[in-house]
Chains A and B, each alone.
Chain A
């Protein structure tokens, strides 16, 4: 490899997570003493990371251009067209930049800590750094006056550091490091307002659910480590190295069983982290955290980690989860992705909390990404990850903006919103632009990513999932239209209409956990002090620290798609070029669909249809008092059932919480403890009881104190036998003499008989 085609930023990309990690420590130790309570350190570190990431991205692009077969004339890549092929023979790849130090060792084998910089990593680094920066800026205003302002920024910074560390991980262990740090921070951030037990429960639930998935991560890493170990050591690496794992997965030296088990295990982790069915239940609850957290969590960090893992180890999943059904290759990832799209989208319809709508939307979109990966549309999936980050982040921040300035900290669309479009024009505009992107309206970014996925499903013979994708697109449009209508249009209700007191009174009416906690204890919660400053008026537009990031994100939501838009007037696939062709030799051969407007028609129609239908239904249900559709979910039995089923989130939560968790904490744990106290500890006691029956004299000597403990039991038996022997010690000389002689005589008798 040519040394010229690297650069300082590329070689030192590891600094990107290190900076916020150090910043985290600084905030923790000195934050409280800083003029801005440590937030400036957080923002500064994120900006630094962003600069570094941008530098890295720039140098990476230079590198790609240098190596691309068409020389440094990038536009010539247009000739690659949609059938962009990557393969080992074609040598159209760019070597990743891998730097590492020895992190730990075992058996003389040294395991590294370092960076694995390729297109995917660079894309994610830039994305994460950018979104994190914006979210932090937004939070400056949003959380002003919060009692744990400093902690919040510390956790937020560490959160980004974790994601960044995971993104550029050189090996699986490092990936786990970042992965788990995110888990920790999500726990801290979701439970940020832990005075309210509901919040801390949600935090616990999030951590716990993800942790369940992590079983797979730990196990899978182990499986893959050993499976890849032989191959890796031959090539001077080890089985934790991501590069090695990918190469090994494609080398064909591993048995399919091992590949399957390894990838299944890892996929479970991805399911947990990316909130895929059936471990998606924690995500909506995670809305208990402050809104910036939700937006960060949902756009570029945490939940995309699962998708990222699959993309990172794509060769492994591509070969491992690939099963042969009737001569046709079929990837299991698609199944999970497909199911998730639909079930999550369905749930979004029955939510009243904006953030929950968005949460289910995220789950559903992650389903798209997973499905994309499943059907072989790696580039579109990653592109969707990229674009989704912008519009989803924007949507969440809009929701925050609404609650911050429009609905007095309520997220309830039905109760406290409506008609905000006039009061909050910037927010409304940003929201609508992002929604359009999310729905995949042509020439918005979502169109270029999501439709690509759907198109590729068709192209790669996943007909079912093609349909699923289309249905999903329809549903997405529909529920987003509903949300938009409820928030910004129609009549103002509740807080949006200035009904402050009502909000407070109904604080617990719905499961809006994000509500400011512990209202009653006004003195203790300084978050409420922050109420004071905006309690002066009804809904109004948010300040610039909030709208600024909104505008940036909304613009990106519109234009981000253009770097991979194979349509007029762009005709470019630079994203694919920069990101996709960089995974080195280790990448499976994929077949990508050629873009044809014809193929895009169904989805465009469906989006349109979704919008129209939804608008109609919404207007009639929420807008007109006498609409025949009003209250239909309570009147019509089948619809009522569906509604209840959806409101109860398919009863999965009930299953997890009431059956599994309660079972563990309750009967099973108590049972085990009971076994401990009453069975194990008593085994010898029981032996003692047996002994008591055979020898009645021991009986009265086992006293009350023999309650537990093998030792106690045997102790009692010993003590008991002591008592039993005491009558022998009668104090009578004659008996002693008899004993003496008797023992000797018996001994003599026995021995004489035995020996003579």
Chain B
């Protein structure tokens, strides 16, 4: 209606909108409203309904993605190419929606039992997912920014969800202040980019930076700021400092969501920036990525070794995993760019599945132990062999041990950097290899606690695992195994090269 009005006023041509392509976002938006409204009208005892609706909405959103994928015609470009639905975005959207669904499963009991504001919680969760889903398609600085804020702002609030818990407050405030600061930095960088390229469209920017040959200082500054901001989002060292505190303070399901969803969102943004906005400025981002990747995986690992709190350890572990996901970026500007992209996607999928699984087990076990300390995991083999096996599976996967998903992700990452055959590539490969070993230090430590230590208080009563968490465990466990044993069944990428080829790298 608004567009009609505008059109009537100033000859504004109403853009043709591909509703099929936008269907996931639309369903999500509607779902958000529905949850909000339902929440208003149901009694306190029926609030669980909001969770159900949120789950249904997320699953429903997957349907158009499936149909889009099945139809399989090429890239759908909307709004003058500022919002694009292609293979890459489809697969990532599906991933975010499933992440959202698993987080809902994980949250149900926690939020319900904690007496937190269920309706609002799911609204915010869905909003965050919406932001991520949008991010996958954003091909314009403005849409990137909007998506970025859309996935950030709800999570600020979620992090502080336990209102009376000062830790949770602290988590929220830290996350918020630094997030806002980072997005301000990003905006500053973006404004400079806009000044250089005279357009906010990523492909235009990419083209503009290409023409000049030599980079200007402004461009370099802009790129560094933007990368730093997304580095913040993916908690790359040295922009990671918020992550451990926030992860530890936030409610565990939220932490799961942050460590998986919001991080993946950051990577998606990073992919579109690197591959589309400034692919040829690799002199800038290649060393930057190298340093970030090296620092991230190393510092993440090293710090994780020292942790006694399991969630905090997982926070550092996810930082270090982020470092591995950054690895392919180092060679994204070489002939391995296509492999790198595939690797990033594969790694994100594996990481998301595995990490969510790990959080699921932690949530399940914490219900019994009531402690976040690693030492509280002792004796799990005796009283919860199933959970122990699953936890082992997830941690082995994170450590990159076959045949669980993680190995494939790591192999892909090494494969990508080695394909490039550049010095950076070889260097990061060796560093990565060493880090893989260090990582086992803390993953192994968890396993050791579970397998080899007795229960700290000799309490060997069984753990009650609620059905929703069982479902989450089932999804993530099966996913982790499947990704490891038959990765190809899951990772049917088709043509991811679209992104590479539409970007300046393809030319």
Residue positions of A touching B, CB distance < 8 A: 715, 718-719, 721-723, 725-726, 728-729, 731, 733, 735-737, 739-741, 743-744, 747-748, 751-752, 754-756
Asked whether, in the complex, the Cβ of A740 is within 8 Å of the Cβ of B232, the reply is yes
B216 proximity list for chain A (CB < 8 A): 756
Asked whether, in the complex, the Cβ of B305 is within 8 Å of the Cβ of A722, the reply is yes
Asked whether, in the complex, the Cβ of A743 is within 8 Å of the Cβ of B239, the reply is yes
A719 proximity list for chain B (CB < 8 A): 302, 305-306, 441
B220 proximity list for chain A (CB < 8 A): 748, 751-752, 755-756
A755 proximity list for chain B (CB < 8 A): 215, 220, 283-284
Asked whether, in the complex, the Cβ of A739 is within 8 Å of the Cβ of B441, the reply is no
B304 proximity list for chain A (CB < 8 A): 722
Asked whether, in the complex, the Cβ of B306 is within 8 Å of the Cβ of A726, the reply is yes
Q: Of B225, B241, B245, which one neighbours A739 at CB under 8 angstroms?
A: B241
A740 proximity list for chain B (CB < 8 A): 178, 181-182, 185, 228, 232, 238-239, 241
Q: B412 at the A/B interface (Cβ < 8 Å)? A: no
* Distance of A721 Cα from B438 Cα, bound (Å): 12
Q: Of A715, A735, A739, A751, which one neighbours B288 at CB under 8 angstroms?
A: A751
Q: Of A731, A741, A747, which one neighbours B181 at CB under 8 angstroms?
A: A741
B residues 225-259 near A (Cβ < 8 Å) are 225, 228, 232, 238-239, 241-242, 244-245
Asked whether, in the complex, the Cβ of B185 is within 8 Å of the Cβ of A744, the reply is yes
A733 proximity list for chain B (CB < 8 A): 173-174, 177-178
Q: Known: A743-B238, A747-B224. Contact between A718 and B174, CB under 8 A?
A: no
- Say whether chain B's binding surface is mostly helix, strand, loop, or mixed: helix
Offer 23 A-B interface pairs, CB within 8 angstroms, sorted by A: A718-B301, A718-B302, A718-B438, A721-B302, A722-B305, A726-B306, A728-B241, A729-B245, A729-B303, A731-B245, A733-B178, A736-B174, A739-B239, A743-B238, A744-B185, A744-B224, A744-B225, A748-B224, A748-B225, A751-B284, A751-B288, A755-B215, A755-B283
Asked whether, in the complex, the Cβ of A743 is within 8 Å of the Cβ of B228, the reply is yes
Q: B27 at the A/B interface (Cβ < 8 Å)? A: no
* Distance of A725 Cα from B228 Cα, bound (Å): 20
A751 proximity list for chain B (CB < 8 A): 220, 223-224, 283-284, 287-288
Tell me the smallest distance from the CB of B94 to a CB of chain A, in Å.
32
**Known interface pairs A726-B306, A740-B181, A754-B287; 16 further A-B residue pairs with C-beta atoms within 8 A, sorted by A's residue number:** A722-B305, A722-B306, A725-B302, A729-B241, A733-B178, A735-B241, A736-B174, A737-B177, A739-B241, A740-B238, A747-B228, A748-B221, A748-B224, A752-B217, A754-B283, A756-B217
B327 proximity list for chain A (CB < 8 A): none
* Distance of A741 Cα from B174 Cα, bound (Å): 15
Tell me the smallest distance from the CB of B213 to a CB of chain A, in Å.
12
* Distance of A347 Cα from B224 Cα, bound (Å): 92
* Distance of A725 Cα from B238 Cα, bound (Å): 11
Q: Of A725, A747, A748, A756, which one neighbours B299 at CB under 8 angstroms?
A: A725
* Distance of A144 Cα from B93 Cα, bound (Å): 91
Q: B291 at the A/B interface (Cβ < 8 Å)? A: yes
**Which residue on A lies nearest to B178, using beta carbons?**
A736
B residues 299-320 near A (Cβ < 8 Å) are 299, 301-306
Number of residue pairs A-B, CB distance < 8 angstroms: 91
Interface size on B (CB < 8 Å)?
38
**What are the 4 A-B residue pairs with the smallest beta carbon separation, nearest first?**
A744-B228, A748-B224, A722-B306, A736-B241
A726 proximity list for chain B (CB < 8 A): 303, 306
Q: Known: A737-B178, A740-B232, A752-B217. Contact between A715 and B441, CB under 8 A?
A: yes
B242 proximity list for chain A (CB < 8 A): 736
B225 proximity list for chain A (CB < 8 A): 744, 748
A725 proximity list for chain B (CB < 8 A): 299, 302-303
* Distance of A747 Cα from B225 Cα, bound (Å): 9
* Distance of A715 Cα from B173 Cα, bound (Å): 35
- Say whether chain A's binding surface is mostly helix, strand, loop, or mixed: helix
B178 proximity list for chain A (CB < 8 A): 733, 736-737, 740
B245 proximity list for chain A (CB < 8 A): 729, 731
**Which residue on B lies nearest to A719, using beta carbons?**
B305
* Distance of A526 Cα from B270 Cα, bound (Å): 87
Q: B214 at the A/B interface (Cβ < 8 Å)? A: yes
* Distance of A192 Cα from B200 Cα, bound (Å): 95
B217 proximity list for chain A (CB < 8 A): 752, 756
**Which residue on A lies nearest to B307, using beta carbons?**
A722
Q: Known: A736-B178, A747-B288, A756-B216. Contact between A722 and B224, CB under 8 A?
A: no
Tell me the smallest distance from the CB of B295 to a CB of chain A, in Å.
9
A715 proximity list for chain B (CB < 8 A): 441
A721 proximity list for chain B (CB < 8 A): 302
Tell me the smallest distance from the CB of B317 to a CB of chain A, in Å.
13
Asked whether, in the complex, the Cβ of A718 is within 8 Å of the Cβ of B305, the reply is yes
Tell me the smallest distance from the CB of A129 to a CB of chain B, in Å.
61
A722 proximity list for chain B (CB < 8 A): 302-306
* Distance of A756 Cα from B212 Cα, bound (Å): 12
Tell me the smallest distance from the CB of B182 to a CB of chain A, in Å.
7
Tell me the smallest distance from the CB of A282 to a CB of chain B, in Å.
50
B215 proximity list for chain A (CB < 8 A): 755-756
* Distance of A748 Cα from B228 Cα, bound (Å): 10
Tell me the smallest distance from the CB of A732 to a CB of chain B, in Å.
9
Tell me the smallest distance from the CB of B40 to a CB of chain A, in Å.
35
Tell me the smallest distance from the CB of B374 to a CB of chain A, in Å.
14
* Distance of A78 Cα from B225 Cα, bound (Å): 112
Tell me the smallest distance from the CB of B209 to a CB of chain A, in Å.
12
* Distance of A754 Cα from B287 Cα, bound (Å): 11
Q: Known: A740-B178, A740-B182, A747-B224. Contact between A756 and B173, CB under 8 A?
A: no
Tell me the smallest distance from the CB of B237 to a CB of chain A, in Å.
9
A743 proximity list for chain B (CB < 8 A): 228, 238-239
* Distance of A257 Cα from B232 Cα, bound (Å): 75
Q: Known: A739-B241, A744-B185. Contact between A718 and B283, CB under 8 A?
A: no
**Which residue on B lies nearest to A735, using beta carbons?**
B241
* Distance of A751 Cα from B214 Cα, bound (Å): 13
Asked whether, in the complex, the Cβ of A747 is within 8 Å of the Cβ of B182, the reply is no
Residue from A741, A743, A754 whose CB has the most chain B CB atoms within 10 Å: A743
Interface string of B198-221 (1 = CB under 8 A from A): 000000000000000011110011
* Distance of A731 Cα from B173 Cα, bound (Å): 12
* Distance of A747 Cα from B238 Cα, bound (Å): 11
Residue from A728, A731, A747 whose CB has the most chain B CB atoms within 10 Å: A747
**Which residue on A lies nearest to B284, using beta carbons?**
A751
